[in-house]
Amino acid sequence: KQEVTQIPAALSVPEGENLVLNCSFTDSAIYNLQWFRQDPGKGLTSLLLIQSSQREQTSGRLNASLDKSSGRSTLYIAASQPGDSATYLCAVRPITQGGSEKLVFGKGTKLTVNP
Amino acid sequence: ETGVTQTPRHLVMGMTNKKSLKCEQHLGHNAMYWYKQSAKKPLELMFVYNFKEQTENNSVPSRFSPECPNSSHLFLHLHTLQPEDSALYLCASSQIWGPGELFFGEGSRLTVL
């Protein structure tokens, strides 16, 4: 059974710092991995999607990497800003018989960027 | 309207009420999903619809009844809920056979008294 773990559960950093959020998954048989951002009481916003054949994706100050063989992904945020404060969730789409659409989510890392 | 929209954003209901959550996607996708988000727990997939056909029911109690009249609309009918059903209910959509990127709505915050 695929499980996704995100460490740490919470992170507090000063503005301007570069930071890394971690995601690990137990089964390397995945189609893709997706990073999301969630603000309090709101829905999820897709940040980056990495296909299983890719090693990384970049969008602005965000860079996500994928090491499928070791079951790890990182989300790198450069020059953090208070507006980056949110919960960041990682999700994988397992390869399953029948092609299930099910994503498996981690519990998220709550990031606070202090001015 | 763009993206995925959900109504109502907030709902308070008694255990004997009947209510419905609505989701509409404007992205031209052909798969729609209901997720449940409770405090301190990962998102839980409830239902998946591909081309209006339900393809996954993740052992959800029958007091939750989904309906998908077309590829753009998804409903979640609620009846005789329990207080532990209080949660944020999120709708999402994606394109089958594409990159598989999932797009979410803002959610409906449900409180069962």
| DSSP structure string for chain B | --SEEEE-SEEEE-TT-EEEEEEEE-S--SEEEEEEE-TTS--EEEEEEETTEEEEE-S--TTEEEEEEETTEEEEEEES--GGG-EEEEEEEE-TTS----EE---EEEEE-
- From chain A, the residues in CB contact with B40 under 8 A are 107
Q: Is the pLDDT of residue B52 over 90?
A: no
How many angstroms separate the CA of residue B15 from the nearest CA in chain A?
23
Can you give the pLDDT at residue B96?
Answer: 79
Beta-carbon separation of A45 and B104 below 8 A: yes
Give the CA radius of gyration of chain A. Answer: 14
Question: From residue B2, how far is each of A72, B24, B25, B48, B68 by CA, in Å?
Answer: 33, 10, 8, 21, 19
Count interface pairs A-B at CB distance under 8 A.
62
Residues 26-85 of B with CB under 8 A from A: 31, 33, 40-43, 45, 48, 50, 55-56, 58
- From chain A, the residues in CB contact with B32 under 8 A are none
Can you give the pLDDT at residue A24?
Answer: 98
Closest partner CB to B109 (pick from A41, A51, A105): A41
C-alpha–C-alpha distance, residues B57 and B53, integer Å = 11
- From chain A, the residues in CB contact with B58 under 8 A are 102
A94 lies within 8 A of chain B by CB: no
Closest partner CB to B31 (pick from A101, A104, A107): A101
Among A16-25, A69-78, B19-28, B97-106, the least confident range: B97-106
A44 lies within 8 A of chain B by CB: yes
For each of chain A's 115 residues, which pLDDT tens digit applies? 889 999 999 999 999 999 999 999 999 999 999 999 999 888 999 999 999 999 999 999 999 999 999 999 999 999 999 999 999 999 999 887 555 567 899 999 999 999 9
Q: Note the pLDDT tens digit of each residue in A87-115.
A: 999 999 988 755 556 789 999 999 999 99
With a pLDDT cut of 70, the percent of chain B lying above it is 97
Q: Name which of B97, B104, B110, B111 to mutate to probe chain A: the one with the most chain A Cβ atoms within 10 A of its Cβ.
A: B104
Question: Which residues, at least 6 apart from B105, have a Cβ–Cβ distance to it below 8 Å?
Answer: A43, B3, B4, B5, B6, B23, B25, B90, B91, B92
Q: Name which of B4, B43, B90 to mutate to probe chain A: the one with the most chain A Cβ atoms within 10 A of its Cβ.
A: B43
List, in sequence order, every residue forming a beta bridge with A111; answer none if it has no partner.
Answer: A11, A86
- From chain B, the residues in CB contact with A49 under 8 A are 99-101
Can you give the pLDDT at residue A99?
Answer: 55
Give residue B1's pLDDT band: very low, low, confident or very high (50, 70, 90): low
Q: ∠A29-A30-A34 over CA atoms, to 5°?
A: 155
